[in-house]
A and B are shown apart, each in its own frame.
Chain A
Amino acid sequence: MANRIVVDPVTRIEGHLRIEAEIKDGKIVDAYSSSTMVRGIEQIVKGRDPRDVWAFVQRTCGVCTTVHALASVRAVEDALDIAIPANAEMVRNIMEGSLYMHDHVVHFYHLHALDWVDVVNCLKADPKKTSEIAQSISSWPKSSPGYFSDVQRRIQKFVESGQLGIFANGYWGHPQMKLPAEVNLLGVAHYLEALEWQKEIVKIHTIFGGKNPHPNYLVGGMACAINSESPGGLNAERLAMVGKLLKEGKQFVEQVYIPDLLAIASFYKDWGAIGKGFGNYMSYGDFPTNGYADLSSFKFPQGVILDRDLSKVHDVDHRNGDIEEFVNNSWYNYSDGDDKGKHPWDGETNINYSGPKPPYDFLNVEEKYSFIKTPRWKGLPMEVGPLARLLVGYGRGNKEIQDAVNGALTHLDVPVDALFSTLGRTAARGIETQLVANWTMGFYDTLMNNIKNGDERMANMNSWEPKTWPAEAKGVGFMEAPRGALAHWIRIKDGKTANYQQVVPSTWNASPRDPKGQRSAYESTLIGTPVADPELPLEIIRTIHSFDPCIACAVHLYDEHGNHISQVQNIASCER
């Protein structure tokens, strides 16, 4: 028996991505991942002032806002050999740390939770019992029976209106929804609370960068000058606000996000065996504490793990030929043929769409099928993201990371193997949020101490003027974005951007096949995913969402013979 459906688009992600997959006996046996939107930002920044480029490439993504700006200023600073002041490093770390808290909480509640929490079912809950559960797992003060019955009443009124808005046509009542009504009510209450909380933590970006989304960065440091004795710069009031927001953010992570994550995960332990993938993981490392050049000072270590072997961690080198991008299955052309890979310093972005003319039902996956290029490390596909970061840290013997991971495994009473899964990816995101929240408090303390000791420098402007630059230079700015390993490669010539290439986390995870036919992470992890009701492919979006995709998806299922036919409404007629 074969079932075929089209799911297009997958929502609660950023961007436009499409996956075509083959399903047999209720399980996915093959999948193809494709992005269907392109803007050409790498072409647009060519010829621009390298000091401006951070603002252009920041617009690659407004969800994980700041990460591309940071990768860009690092790339330019690397090319021009600029060391930024310690305060600027701490401010960037604090901004990145608060982004992790924001991004991971929003992902969990607003982009992922509705895959696990049944909103409509919460109307059946006994608010008293929800209150008992809440108080048994956390000291978060908003936990009275009255609080939960108010939330329930509000949802009831909303549902009764007949206009379900963002909750319309959701997967309510799906057999894969396993939470008791009381836990569903807890999840819905915290969905709303997190929506209100997330607008607070971003104010840290507003203080340092002037706005959020898309705060301002600066090649050489940060623009937010410190002046402890003037209303004109960062003074005690501004810094105290950062301290308060960080403390409240950490509290929300510890008292709401982590307890909810563990509570909800405990009902879905079977997802510790689904969404495994090929087992290669890569982290570039991030949160430097002694300059970008000193890899040993990074809080997240860099490295590669192959085939789930945590006993051996390989080094990552961004400057040799280890990392290459392929376009054999992507809608681009290389000037010297599409069969070879290119290191990003020599990369090209020549758009050449050769897919079907819209409107179309299916892509031709035998040929080029995506606007995403295919990156490889030493010819191998890599999974990147929170899980990769934790596994690399674990493998490197980082005690703090090992303790955090072991603690969560013990709490959930699942084996180490459960990490390599959809559940593992989602749990890793929570575990690292706790780590990053702790570290970010430390970055804040360091910043305050520096100022106390009289260091108020925020930018190194020695190499600001293009006339001080060499005629030609190249640099790489790498980092760990919340979604995984991110790097920008720049070539500067005569003061202008001669070439610019971004290899983003979703490029690693969501890319099409390479010339050897090796699948990337989305395609690989979907294989084996069970689909109870192909008309409502909840399980597919669970695994896809576990990566926190930064691209909008469309998921197609083929029959076992690869005969794709049209839309979901045909499902009844095309069974068997």
Chain B
Amino acid sequence: MSINNEQRKTYYESIIKNGYNRRDFMKFTTYMAAFMGLESTMVGQIAKSLENTPRLPVIWEHYQECTCCSESFIRSDHPIVADIILDRISLDYTLTLMAASGHQAEAAKQETMNKYKGEYILCVEGSIPLGDDGNYCCIAGKSAKESFLEAAEGAKAIIAWGSCASNGCIQAAKPNPTEATPIHKIVKNKPIIRVPGCPPIGEVMAGIIVHVVAFGRLPELDRLGRPKAFYAKRVHDSCYRRPYYDAGLFAETFDDHNAKEGYCLYKLGCKGPMTYNSCGTIKWNNGVSYPIQSGHGCIGCSEANFWDNGPFYERATKVPGLEEEGLADDIGKVAAGVLAGGLAVHAVAANISKRKELMSRIRRGKSNEKNIDS
């Protein structure tokens, strides 16, 4: 899909198209200046900038979540978040950072939805509870589902931040008391980028925004709707402790001699072998470390249903993640629908040879695990 700034109408263009003349436009900018409390001398400058290209408008919704995704986003090192929100996008609605509250906040969102219909990016943090008619999460008196459907309707594309929006995460763990639901099960006719992780790595989140803004298109997605650039590898395959796994050297318990030597944490429950994420490559907080490097196994937080794939400290015996194929096909269909609509989306391609390689790796890993047991 093309996110082309040139294609988006400027204020000036849309005003002229709607039958207003330049004089009306200047009146509008004077009103804008008064509204923003600016000197009249700045009217000319506002008019000039409104005639030019606007930044990509973004609406960021918060439903059933803990705000760790927003927190991770502001941890991004490159680019830093100030540069993103001042120079790259126009973050018009986010409960975490925006100055306005209540009606003023909702009005800002409404304005973006009206003015940039079909143009804005909708980011969703959190799952949507469908239980009890949606009573379990309300904002401004509206249910999360209603609010999401409204915002999704005019969105050009949707980013599902984190495991909550992508997979349901903690609140969807058994017994899922509120019927917490990931967003791709609610809206099917929009391109959705799933960015799982609890939270996702800050630089990954920023990287996706940069991809959209700088390249003018959505990133290429894998079978599960995740950007390939960040979710193509298992943590296990990029783990610096992998040689210990291959050599059969494992920590037997926390803080033992082997743990202090930095041996593989597989026997302590590390879910790196079945988790697709960038933790081993990009690492966390500008490359400082990642869970395994700091001595704790991966809990698999970017995989669907990871809360129910535990216990965390028990050695994993199966490799899930492939049972979601049906879901991946759904996403493929969505992408195809968007293509038919004339937008240039990078197709979600099934890579059969890669799959074969993966299966053989899993087989190799399993035979290795058998050796460990014996």
Residues of A within 8 A of B (CB): 5-16, 36-41, 43-44, 48-49, 51-52, 55-56, 59-63, 65, 110, 114, 119-121, 123, 154, 158-173, 192, 195-196, 198-199, 202-203, 205-216, 218, 220-227, 230-233, 241, 351, 353, 355, 357-362, 371, 456-459, 461, 464, 536-537, 541, 552-555, 567-569
Contacts and interface: CB of A to CB of B under 8 A. Distances in A.
Interface in B241-287: 253-256, 259-263, 279, 284-286
Contacts, number: 354
25 contacts: A8-B102, A9-B95, A52-B311, A52-B313, A55-B312, A60-B66, A62-B66, A63-B67, A165-B85, A169-B104, A192-B82, A195-B74, A195-B82, A199-B75, A206-B289, A206-B294, A209-B294, A216-B299, A227-B261, A351-B177, A351-B178, A461-B254, A461-B255, A464-B253, A541-B101
B244 to A, nearest CB: 9
A196 B80 contact: yes
Interface in B215-254: 253-254
Contacts of B107: 169
A359 B141 contact: yes
A472 B190 CA distance: 51
B140 A8 contact: yes
A213 B96 CA distance: 15
Contact of A456 (B89, B133, B260, B311): B260
A158 B173 CA distance: 43
Contacts of B140: 8-9, 554
B44 to A, nearest CB: 10
B255 A9 contact: no
A461 B313 CA distance: 13
A164 B104 CA distance: 13
A224 B260 contact: no
A52 B296 CA distance: 12
A14 B96 contact: yes
A330 B81 CA distance: 38
B94 A166 contact: yes
Contacts of B48: 160
Interface stretch (B35-43, B339-347, B350-358): B35-43
A37 B102 contact: no
B195 interface: no
Nearest to B306: A55
Contact of B98 (A11, A63, A212, A227): A11
B103 interface: yes
B55 interface: yes
B103 A567 contact: yes
A8 B310 contact: no
Contact of A230 (B104, B262, B291): B262
Contact of B289 (A210, A230, A552): A210
A324 B240 CA distance: 49
If over half of A's interface residues share one DSSP class (helix, strand or loop), that class is named, otherwise mixed; here it is loop
A62 B69 contact: yes
Contacts of B50: 162
Given A8-B102, A9-B140, A196-B82, A202 B75 contact: yes
A536 B105 CA distance: 11
Contacts of B316: none
Contacts of B201: 211
Nearest to A355: B135
Interface string B14-26: 0000000000000
Given A196-B80, A555-B102, A160 B46 contact: yes
Nearest to B201: A211
Given A14-B66, A51-B311, A169-B99, 20 more contacts: A11-B95, A14-B96, A44-B307, A63-B67, A161-B54, A163-B55, A166-B92, A166-B98, A170-B104, A195-B74, A206-B289, A210-B293, A213-B72, A230-B260, A232-B263, A353-B136, A358-B141, A457-B255, A458-B255, A464-B253
